[in-house]
Amino acid sequence: MISYVIRRVILAIPVLLIVGIVVFILVHLTPGDPAAVILGPDATQEQVKDLRDQLGLNDPLAVQFVRWFGGVLRLDLGDSLFLGMSVTDALVERLQVTGLLSLYSLLLSIIIGVPLGILAAVKANTIVDRALMALSLSGAAIPNFFLGILLILFFAVVLRWLPSGGYVDINEDLGGHFRAMILPSFALGFSQAALLARIVRSSMLDVLREDYIRTAYAKGLRRGRVINIHALRNVLIPITTVIGLSLGALLGGAVVTETVFTLPGMGRLVVQSIGRRDFPVIQGAVMLIAVFYVLANLLVDILYVYLDPRIRYGS
Amino acid sequence: MTANRSGNVNRIDRREVLKRGTALGIGAAALGGTQLSGLARQEEGTRGGVLKVAVIGEPPTLDVHQTTATIVGTIMWSVFESLFTWNENFEVIPMLAESAEVSDDGLLRTIHLRQGVSFHNGEEMKAADVIASFNRWAGISGLGKSLMASTDEIVEVDDYTIEFHLNTPFGTFLPALSHMNQGLAIYPKSVIDAAGEETLTEFVGTGPYKFVERQADRFIRLERFDDYAALEGGPNGYGGQKMQYLDGMEFIPVPDEAARLAGLQAGDYHYLEGFTPEQSEILEGDPNIVLETLAPNTWRTFVINWRSPLMENQTIRQAFQAALEHDSIMRVGEGEGYYSLNPGLMFPETAWYTEAGGDLYNQNDPEKAKALLEEAGYDGTPIRFMTTQEYLYYYNASLVARQQLEDAGFVVDLQVYDWATLIERRGDEELWDVVTTGITFRPDPTMLSIMQLCSWPGWWCSERSRELLDTLLVESDEAVRQETWDLLQETFYEEVPMIKLGDAIPVSARSSKMQGFSLMTQLSEMFWNVWLDE
């Protein structure tokens, strides 16, 4: 098992190198000039050229790449052209927001999605099942920015219960933090909950038709025990896969949710950095996301072993 | 000290006033509301509270010297101050300067500084700081570079006196040192030296609010500067007494328009920077929100590439001009009621406004355009017309213009880019024929971005325009300057370096709790006189 993990980690290195080269080339081949953005709309070419010189953007691409990648190897991602801080600091600061937002959304989607999926499977083809599946279909269909705006209008503008946006640091004010995160987590988690409920329902239905379930009932076990212990454990594998995949979806959805709710997260940082061509930040963020994906996949593969004793890696 | 200062103001007024009485009628009528709110504000504000302003995005920098981007001025002109600034009629008045003198030949300019003005880091502002700031600014800003080219030597006479020895009389010397986007903000010499060639990382000024903290994409926080060296006698335009009612200000980047509106309605923000007037309908009728029309500070334009093989032909440019009907372009771009049509390159709110050359403005004459195209032997080469959807008004205006141009016989290749790409491509004369942009308010015509002749993208560069601009730059007789400006605007309409479409009329949206807000926002908003009614 340990040798398997080590092998996977070593295999990640060429992946990250390729990601690094591709993102660097893409970012620098895209038209658009950070110097012109900084100087504003009235700048002349001479001013733009001077600033490009100062920022080192007029050096040959190969020189810039070596300078950047050399830094990456020393875990130095360079400095942002706009934010007046190092890329690492900027990313770490944002990671907290996006990480917590994704975590809360994931928890919400599990708390809502799994029980409802089980309920729908148990009550399959009844009115309860139909109603739940209709709800989950609309949940999966509603775009999260639209749900976000509806939530803001109702809870912030009409009822004034919750703030319309903005972020409160968890260390500064715990209550304020949760008040600020309720709406965005729900906006982001709702569609995942809907998706999860559908997967849980169909996997559960498959399992419930298995022989060992009939055996469990035949030996006199109570229904609750059969479903929660015998059936659910076997549903965990597809659920884990979906949750692992949904991490990616959550990160993608976080871009939009962060914009609607004015949260200073990774997604918003990346989108804005692309808009203003903040090359070091774009490159650093993509590298970080790549690392994150590699780790998430690894984690899911390792979890399989614990969830399903039949799965073995390596010798 | 006050009496002494007002004496100096008069001296500057006599020599340097940019406006003449004749045009004050227009300005006063349009800005009547501003002046009333300015007067009504006196001494009645409540102290305390933090103003929350939703801004459209993260500012590209906090260094005022570095950029013309409006958002930077909106935030940082509460932190920094300039030597001179503008009163309610856009006349130059001293701010950090005490007074200024000019020799009879116009070649020696002496500036006396106020004493006892403290920077936020505790240092006193002295001549060395001003000179260091000037040198830094003059290395970046276009206006600063041209002033530097006219300067032989800057002499630090004593801690509070500076002499500029010029090689040509620079008629707009004081306006050039006044408050504006990318203006000469005075920084401490120690901060400039510490930054060296690198970008500035400390933001220390003399202003009524000091910079405290920036958390990118979360907020920029300013706090009242308790040792602020305030003038007396109440606010006066961008200058005079700065009231400092607020404990602090927070500028919160909220790029999503729906989120901005909802935040204002929910009471999370007091003011929306860069409010789109067409959104007024959504907010109308909300008793907690005040909507007010502001004086225009941008005119929309199609800039023509003076150096492109196609558009260097003046007859083709004139055909382009004749083909357009501005009313529908502006209506679709800005929305009904949020634009005005006039030929002035200087806004009607300034004394410089003129309708010279106006018979060539908004011609709506496709037949004339066709005839001119035929005369020019236009061969159907597509016009590479660049625009952006990031500012929807430009895109929408371009769509209408394309239709009008095609009706007159032009072939149009509309190219849509994101903003960062557009401004990069705009710098390369090979890549385009026409581009959409906006020209922002300047109190003096020589400061308009388009007056950086031969270097500002579009590269308008005719002998006639350069001669007239030179006169405008060195001449200090106001009557001659106005006459020259009339001729320059006429030349603009004959040579067609760009099309002035019309003025965009901005609207301010703010919480009814926010009081003392001046509608004089052409250069930047003034938040230092605002207070909050709780």
**pLDDT digits (tens), chain A, 315 positions:** 788 888 888 888 888 888 888 988 888 888 788 888 888 777 777 888 888 888 888 888 888 888 888 888 888 888 888 887 889 988 888 888 988 998 899 899 999 998 999 899 888 889 999 999 998 888 888 888 889 989 998 998 888 899 888 888 888 889 999 999 999 999 989 988 998 899 899 998 888 888 888 888 888 888 888 888 888 888 888 888 888 777 777 777 787 888 889 888 888 888 888 888 888 999 998 888 888 878 878 888 888 877 777 777 764
User: Closest partner residue to B60 among A30, A38, A54, by Cβ?
Assistant: A38
User: Using the 8-state DSSP alphabet, how is residue A288 labeled?
Assistant: H
Residue of A153, A164, A269, A273 to mutate for B, most B C-beta atoms under 10 A: A164
Could you tell me how many CB contacts below 8 A there are between chain A and chain B? 153
What residues are paired with B499 via a beta bridge?
A: B302
Using CB atoms, pick whichever of A31, A152, A277 lies closest to residue B425.
A31
Q: How far apart are CA B339 and CA B39, in angstroms?
A: 28
Please list every residue in chain B whose beta carbon sits closer than 8 Å to the beta carbon of residue A32.
Answer: 418, 420-421, 424
Decide if A78 touches B, using CB distance below 8 A: no
pTM of the full predicted structure?
0.82
- Judge whether B80 and B63 are in contact, CB under 8 Å: no
Q: Say whether residue B480 is in contact with chain A using an 8 A CB cutoff.
A: no
Cα B132 from Cα B204, distance rounded (Å): 14
For the beta carbon of residue A18, count every other beta carbon within 10 angstroms: 11
For residue B440, give both structure tokens.
């922002």
Restricting to B residues 129-158, those with a Cβ less than 8 Å away from any Cβ of A are 140-142
Identify the pLDDT of residue B347. Answer: 93
Rounded (5°) CA angle A210-A214-A220: 150
Q: How far is B136 from chain A (nearest CA, A)?
A: 13
Cα A48 to Cα B416: distance, rounded to the nearest angstrom: 22
- Reference B415, options B525, B305, B533; nearest CA is B305
B262 interfacial to chain A (CB closer than 8 Å): yes
Q: Which of A82, A90, A262 is the closest to B254 by Cβ?
A: A262
| SS3 assignment, position B303 | strand
Strand, coil or helix: what is B235? strand
**pLDDT confidence of residue B43:** 52
Cβ of B217 within 8 Å of Cβ of A269? The answer is yes
Where does residue A169 fall: left (phi above 0), alpha (psi -120 to 50 degrees), or beta otherwise?
beta
Mutate to test the interface with B, among A30, A33, A37, A42 (most CBs of B within 10 A): A42
Three-state DSSP state, A210 = coil
Q: At what angle do helices A266-276 and A232-260 cross, to 10 degrees?
A: 40
Dist CA B1 CA B228 (whole Å): 17
CA distances from B94 to B111, B120, B210, B314, B442 (A): 10, 20, 21, 44, 18
Alpha carbon of A106: minimum distance to chain B alpha carbons (Å): 24
CA of B525, closest CA in chain A: separation in Å? 18
Q: Do the chains contact at A42 and B182, CB–CB below 8 Å?
A: yes
Tell me the residue type at B2.
T
CA distances from B102 to A240, B16, B250 (A): 79, 10, 41
Which residues in chain B are closer than 8 Å to A36, comparing Cβ atoms? 420, 423-424, 427
Between the alpha carbon of residue B241 and those of residues B94, B185, B221, the distances in Å are 12, 18, 22
Which of B50, B56, B67 is the mutation pick for testing A, counting most A CBs within 10 A? Answer: B67
Set of chain A residues whose Cβ sits within 8 Å of the Cβ of B61? 38, 82, 84
What local confidence, expressed as pLDDT, does residue B11 receive?
41
- Establish if B194 touches chain A: CB-CB under 8 angstroms: no
Chain B residues touching residue A44 (CB < 8 angstroms): 142, 452, 455-457
Nearest to B418 among A167, A259, A275 (CB): A275
B429 part of contact set with chain A, CB < 8 Å: no
Q: Which of B68, B214, B217 sits opposite A40 (nearest CB)?
A: B68
Walk along chain B (534 residues) and give the pLDDT tens digit of each residue.
333 333 333 344 333 333 333 333 333 333 333 333 444 444 578 999 999 999 988 888 899 999 888 889 999 999 999 999 999 888 899 999 999 999 988 899 999 999 999 999 999 999 999 999 999 999 888 889 889 999 999 999 999 999 999 998 888 899 999 999 889 999 999 999 998 877 788 999 999 999 999 988 889 999 999 999 999 989 999 999 999 999 999 999 988 888 889 899 999 999 998 888 888 888 888 899 999 999 898 999 999 999 999 999 999 999 999 999 999 999 999 988 899 999 999 998 888 999 999 999 999 999 999 999 999 999 999 999 999 988 889 999 999 999 999 999 999 999 999 888 888 888 889 999 999 999 989 889 988 989 988 888 899 999 999 999 999 988 878 899 999 999 999 999 999 999 999 999 999 999 999 999 998 899 989 999 999 987
Q: What is the pLDDT of residue A314?
A: 61
Contact status of B57 with chain A (Cβ, < 8 Å): yes
Residue whose token pair is 């949710």: A257
- Nearest-CA neighbor of B446 among B423, B473, B406? B473
Q: Does B430 touch chain A (CB under 8 A)?
A: no
Nearest to A45 among B199, B254, B455 (CB): B455
Distance CA A263, CA B255 (A): 11
Closest B-chain CA to A91: B216
List of long-range contacts for B98-101, beta carbons under 8 Å, 24+ apart: B98/B4, B98/B5, B98/B8, B98/B160, B99/B5, B99/B8, B99/B11, B99/B12, B100/B8, B100/B12, B100/B174, B101/B11
In whole angstroms, how far apart are CA A25 and each of A58, A68, A275?
15, 12, 17
**Contact state of A50 with B140 under an 8 Å Cβ cutoff:** yes
B-chain residue closest to A273, CA distance:
B58
ipTM: 0.75
Q: Which residues of A touch B199 (CB under 8 A)?
A: 54, 84
Q: What are phi and psi of B453, to 5 degrees?
A: -60, 145
Nearest residue, CB atoms, A262 vs list B252, B424, B440: B252
Hey, is B527 helix, strand or coil?
coil
Indicate yes or no: CB of A32 within 8 angstroms of CB of B424: yes
Q: Give A104 to chain B, closest Cα distance, Å.
A: 20
State how far residue B300 is from chain A, nearest Cα, in angstroms: 13
In the chain, the amino acid numbered B12 is I
Closest in B140, B262, B437 to A156, CB measured: B262
Q: Count the alpha carbons within 13 Å of B26 in the hemisphere toward its beta carbon.
A: 15
The burial class, CB within 10 Å (0-12 / 13-18 / 19+), for A224 is exposed
Closest residue to B60, CB basis, from A48, A157, A276: A276
Reduced to 3 states (helix: H, G, I; strand: E, B; else coil), residue B160 is coil
Q: Which two tokens stand for residue A120?
A: 């729908």
Interface contact flag, B217 A272, Cβ < 8 Å? yes
Q: Which of B217, B262, B456 sits opposite A153 (nearest CB)?
A: B262
Q: How many CB atoms lie within 10 A of CB A2?
A: 7
The type of residue at A152 is I
A contact test, residue of B56, B58, B306, B523 with most A CBs within 10 A: B58
Pairing mode, strands B412-417 and B514-515: unpaired
Q: Quick one: closest CA in A to B436, which residue?
A: A41
Is some CB atom of chain A closer than 8 A to the CB atom of B61? yes
What's the pLDDT at A127? 93
For A54, the closest of B62, B197, B252 (CB atoms) is B197
CB contact under 8 A, B256 and A163: no
Scanning B218-237 for CB atoms below 8 A from A yields 218
Continuous segment of H or E residues that includes residue B262: helix B257-265
Residues in chain A within 8 Å Cβ distance of B455? 44-46
Task: Write out the DSSP string of B336-400.
Answer: TTSEE----SS-TTSTT---TTGGGSS---HHHHHHHHHHHT---PPEEEEEESSSHHHHHHHHH
- Quote the pLDDT of residue A169: 87
Within an 8 Å CB–CB cutoff, is residue A41 touching chain B?
A: yes
